[in-house]
Amino acid sequence: MIRAILFDCFGVLVGQGFDATWRRAGGDPDQDRAFIADLLGATNVGVISLDEMTVQVCDKLQITPQQWAEVVAETERADQGLIDYIRDDLKSSYGVAVVSNASAGTLERVLTAEQRAVFDAQVVSAEVGHVKPDPEIYELAARKLGVAPSECVFTDDSLAYCQGAEAVGMQAIQFRDREQFVRDLEAILSHT
């Protein structure tokens, strides 16, 4: 029986993922894959701050911090329709959580207080010391909701992170867009 639904932040609740932001800022995410992986890896576990990340991004892309902030503001908008669906259709029957590879304080930056209040738990990699697909981050989210991993559905735009959730016993939906996610989730929930 499904008792909880876990959501990635970037690429699901907010924006279209870091690659889209990087591309909008003038970078080539494929060409810069190693740099991005190292940068996000260090940021997501709290080795470097968001401000330090911004300095490195601006150096790499040869843009100003103001230009980077404008790109981030354009591309990292919350999907209010999805958040409304979670609040109106899911929250009364299921525990809901955000599970994100992100720096400390990121959710406060990209989601309003009202949007964050929709979620029963928030698990941010830099705040807990584990990054997806480490099994511990999924297990921690389930514990925070008081459920077993087998009672969870996890959604993320990253196939590898979905596979990480499946490895601990969760069902997973690779997120492509809101409509596809709702269809896939409702199919899972109708069979439990």
Residue-level pLDDT at 100: 97
Residue-level pLDDT at 127: 93
**Residue 192 pLDDT exceeds 80:** no
pLDDT in tens, 98-152: 999 998 888 998 999 999 999 999 999 999 999 999 999 999 999 999 999 999 9
**Residue 53 pLDDT exceeds 80:** yes
User: Span 80-101, mean pLDDT?
Assistant: 98
Only one residue has tokens 């930056």, namely 109
Three-state secondary structure string covering 158-191: CHHHHHHHHHCCCEEEECCCHHHHHHHHHHHHHC
Residue-level pLDDT at 116: 98
Share of the chain above pLDDT 70, in %: 100
Structure pTM? 0.88
**Residue 156 pLDDT exceeds 90:** yes
Torsion sign (Cα): 180, 87, 149, 78: positive
User: Span 52-76, mean pLDDT?
Assistant: 95
The set of residues, in sequence order, having a beta carbon less than 8 Å from that of 91 and lying 6+ positions away, is 118, 120
How far apart CA 149 and CA 164 sit, in angstroms, is 12
Instruction: Indicate the pLDDT class of residue 16, thresholds 50, 70 and 90.
Output: confident
* CB 170 within 8 Å of CB 143: no
Only one residue has tokens 């991005």, namely 36
Instruction: Indicate the pLDDT class of residue 13, thresholds 50, 70 and 90.
Output: very high
User: Span 67-74, mean pLDDT?
Assistant: 93
Output the DSSP codes for 109-175.
Answer: HHS-HHHHTT-SEEEEHHHHT--TT-HHHHHHHHHHHT--GGGEEEEES-HHHHHHHHHTT-EEEE-
Share of the chain above pLDDT 90, in %: 88
End-to-end CA distance of the chain: give it in Å, rounded: 5
Q: HSE (CB half, 13 Å, CA atoms) of 11? A: 21
Q: Which two tokens stand for residue 147?
A: 């459920």
Residue-level pLDDT at 15: 87
Residue-level pLDDT at 168: 99
**Residue 59 pLDDT exceeds 90:** yes
- Dihedral angle at the C-alpha atoms of 27, 31, 32, 38, nearest 10 degrees? 160
* CB 133 within 8 Å of CB 162: no
Question: Between the CA of residue 89 and those of 119, 122, 144, 154, 155, what are the distances in Å?
Answer: 13, 19, 21, 16, 16
